[in-house]
Structure 1
Amino acid sequence: MGAVVIFAPSPVLTVTIEDLDGEQDIHIHAGGQGVWQARMLHALGASVTLCGVFSGETGRVARHLLRDEGIQVLSVEGQGSNGAYVHDRRGGERQVLAESSGHRLTRHELDELYGLVIQAGIDAGTAILSGPAIEGIVPDDAYRRLASDLGTAGCTVIADLAGPRLEAAVSGGVSVMKIADDELKDSGRAASEQATDLVDAMQQLAADGAGTVIVTRAHLPSLLLHEGDVSEIHMPSLESVDTHGAGDSLTAGVAAALAAGKPIHDAVILGTAAGALNVTRHGLGTGDADTIEQLTRLVKIMPFQGGGAEPAEQSSPDDLARRLGRK
């Protein structure tokens, strides 16, 4: 695998309480979209560098935890504190017990971070633009400038964004844009979450500056627009433990393959397999490369037929084993 840089402006510190045979099981990790992408990239064997601002007690702990995972961190020392949350999953669903938003980046912090991302992105050749956990941390226009400057420097720019940040990145020009169907509708670009409306919105995104567009649709096949052709990505739906982080795992898989010089269809297949595995796990952005590689055999890319699509069938572990030829 190749090298990937992630713009993750303000990672968060996460505390999650699980139930383990009637006992409270407490997990402490660095988190946030860019962190989950970095974690999956690392699992896939890519060389990953995360660029972010780390401030206060929460920032210092998050940075330490990331480095312990083997993720290279280029950090800016901030003035305030990073965000944090405490979630209770003992009942099976996430319950928010406490959240702290973190501070808005100062002009000096953003300038220093911007320079780190440009330098590291040029060295790596592939960059992901990820969003902050909380609105208002970073000016939206920073995404336009980063997309434009990294692209000008010859970097493959992958954006996993929504809302004004999506609009900013697209106006700067990106190689790949990944977005969920509900986010595309909420942005006003798609009239509905119907496939034909999504395709219209994808084509407009491409016209506005996105080279390739990937739209995820929960249990329905994802959609891919590349060089004017629209495809559906089919993958059996695995039994879900937690859907959080699946889209970030998909983005990471796409980035890992593109950084390794693979064509876009191979990249989408790897990303789809990574996202599918992630929903079977409690850890966000986690998985192992061997299992993901095996799951790629189940991913099918087919021409878009238009209209509705049947929900993907759900596969139990035994079903999955049979499909992979283990039984």
Structure 2
Amino acid sequence: MVPSDVALFAPSPVLTVTVEEQGGSPDIHVHAGGQGVWQARMLVTLGASVTMCCVLAGETGTVLRHLIEDEGVAVKAVEGAGRNGAYIHDRRGGERVEVAEAPSDPLTRHDLDELYGLTLSTGLDAGAVLLSGPSDHPAAADAVPADTYRRLAADLRAVGKPVIADLAGERLAAVLESGLTVVKVSHEELLDDGRADGDDQDALIAAMHDLHDHGAEYVIVTRAHEPLLVLADGIVRVVRMPQLQSADTHGAGDSLTAGVTATLARGGDIEDAVRLGAAAGMLNVTRHGLGTGDVEAVLKLRELVEVDRLEPGAGTAPQAQVTPRDLAERAHGS
């Protein structure tokens, strides 16, 4: 197999069935889903070659393999003993309504060992490695131990591979311990993890410096409809973009991560990576399909993304004139 631009660790993709309305009749869509799948979909849209490393099991796993490969993603899969998860959503009323959901079965120790080896082997040949989480269903919370992420990040960084992580909670803490190239996290996740003591800009900047100090070379924080924040080379950048009409905000963050990863896998710098990622996320919200878009539209939107350096003390009281580093030190001392 020809080496891919991106090796994607996506432990347990899920089968999705979505009911839409077309001409007054139900319109049923069957796709592969989950964070890793949505990231892979946008990576392919942006012209990157992707190999997904995952566990596929049962009837749902058989269907998932065909669906993922049909989207132009190479699949290296462990044939698991259980089944992959699935859900049915009804969106005929305009909002997603869950009809039924069956979580993936827990991965066995054998499954995890095999998956680790597949990912490490694939990552050694790839331009970059993207670590995504398992299903966010509560039953899948312990599907992949945080230490698996730590070891993968450590081993891949040891051989010089760029590692990008879109994780939170224990898994984020684990990869930080190993060190990695990029962490992408939402402000909600920083609050939930207790890494930020508020959602104001100063508190988030302090949390970003803390993430950097604990192992992330670059930090990207999404803030819903507010501009992105990026910490790179000790400088915080504010990333602004036009607010387009939203059809579905799900998957926008994954499209952002995909754009960043695609650029870094080809040797681009972090600012170019963030511009492309922001444009991909911007387009994704205008569509119902998660992780979807048109590459020509993304490239045009990229030209509208503004990246400004945040001057020291910006956003704070004028008399304080504290720098982002001061805020991080205060957070450590509190």
Superposed, 1:250-269 pairs within 5 Å as 250-269=256-275
Query: SS at the partner of 2:303?
Result: helix
Following superposition of structure 1 onto structure 2, how do residues 92-171 of structure 1 map, counting pairs within 5 Å? Answer: 92-133=94-135, 134-171=140-177
Correspondence for 1:311: none
Q: Give the paired residue count.
A: 307
Q: Name the CA distance, whole Å, in 2 between partners of 1:5 and 1:198.
A: 30
Deviation, structure 1 residue 19: 1.1
Give 1:23's aligned residue: 25
Q: Which runs of 4+ in 1 moved over 3 A?
A: none
C-alpha contact (below 8 Å) 2:20/2:92 kept by paired residues? yes
Cα distance in 2 for residues equivalent to 1:153 and 1:117: 14
Whole-angstrom distance in 1 between the partners of 2:185 and 2:29: 29
Distance 2:105 2:145 in 1: 13
TM-score (norm 1): 0.92
The answer to whether the 8 A contact 1:249-1:285 is kept is: yes
Residue 54 of structure 1 contacts residue 77 of structure 1 at CA under 8 Å; is this kept in 2? Answer: yes
1:208 to 210, 214, 225: 214
Match status 1:33 vs 2:35: yes
Give the equivalent residue in structure 2 for 1:307: 315
The SS at the match of 1:110 is helix
Q: Distance in 1 between matches of 2:188 and 2:118?
A: 33
> C-alpha displacement at 1:128, in angstroms?
0.4
1:63 CA drift (Å): 1.1
Determine if contact 2:127/2:266 at 8 Å carries over to the other structure: no
- Report deviation, 1:282: 0.6
Q: Which amino acid aligns with 2:315?
A: G
Correspondence for 1:233: 239
Q: Tell me the alpha carbon deviations over residues 26-75 of structure 1, each in whole angstroms, 9 at most, x when there is no partner.
A: 00000000000000000000011100000000111111100111110000
Q: Could you tell me whether the CA contact under 8 Å between 1:11 and 1:83 is conserved in 2?
A: yes
Q: Tell me if structure 1 keeps the 8 A contact 2:19–2:90.
A: yes
Matched residue, 1:83: 85
- The one-character-per-residue Cα deviations of 1:182-219 (angstroms, maximum 9, x if unpaired) are 00111000001111100000000000000100000011
8 Å CA contact 1:178–1:214 kept in 2: the answer is yes
In structure 2, the gaps of 5 or more residues are 317-334
What secondary structure does 1:237 align onto? coil
Aligned to 2:328: none
Counterpart amino acid of 1:176?
V
Task: Give the distance between the partners of 2:259 and 2:281, measured in 1 at CA.
Answer: 8
Matches of 2:310 and 2:83, distance apart in 1: 46
Q: Is the 8 A contact 2:15 2:87 kept in 1?
A: yes
Indicate the RMSD between aligned Cα atoms, in angstroms: 1.0
Distance 2:238 2:294 in 1: 25
**Structure 2 counterpart SS, 1:189:** coil
How far the C-alpha of 1:246 sits from its partner, in A, is 0.2
1:79-101 deviations in Å (ceiling 9; x for gaps): 00001100010011111111111
Q: Give how far 1:125 is off.
A: 2.8
Check if 1:69 corresponds to 2:71: yes
Supply the distance in 2 between the matched residues of 1:246 and 1:70 (Cα, whole angstroms).
20
Whole-angstrom distance in 2 between the partners of 1:75 and 1:174: 25
Deviation at 1:21, TM superposition (A): 2.1
Instruction: Please give the alpha-carbon distance, in whole angstroms, between the structure 2 residues aligned to 1:192 and 1:60.
Output: 44
Question: Which amino acid in 2 is paired with 1:252?
Answer: A
Local SS of the residue matching 1:257: helix
Q: Distance in 2 between matches of 1:195 and 1:93?
A: 31
Instruction: State the secondary structure of the residue aligned to 1:298.
Output: coil
Aligned-partner Cα distance in 1 for 2:127–2:283: 27
1:313 corresponding residue in structure 2: none
Contact 1:122 1:154 in 2 (8 A): no
Task: Deviation per CA, 1:218-275: give whole Å up to 9, x if none.
Answer: 1100000001100100001110000000000000000001111111100000000000
Rounded to whole Å, the distance in 2 between the matches of 1:62 and 1:137 is 18
The one-character-per-residue Cα deviations of 1:163-193 (angstroms, maximum 9, x if unpaired) are: 1111111111110000000001110000011
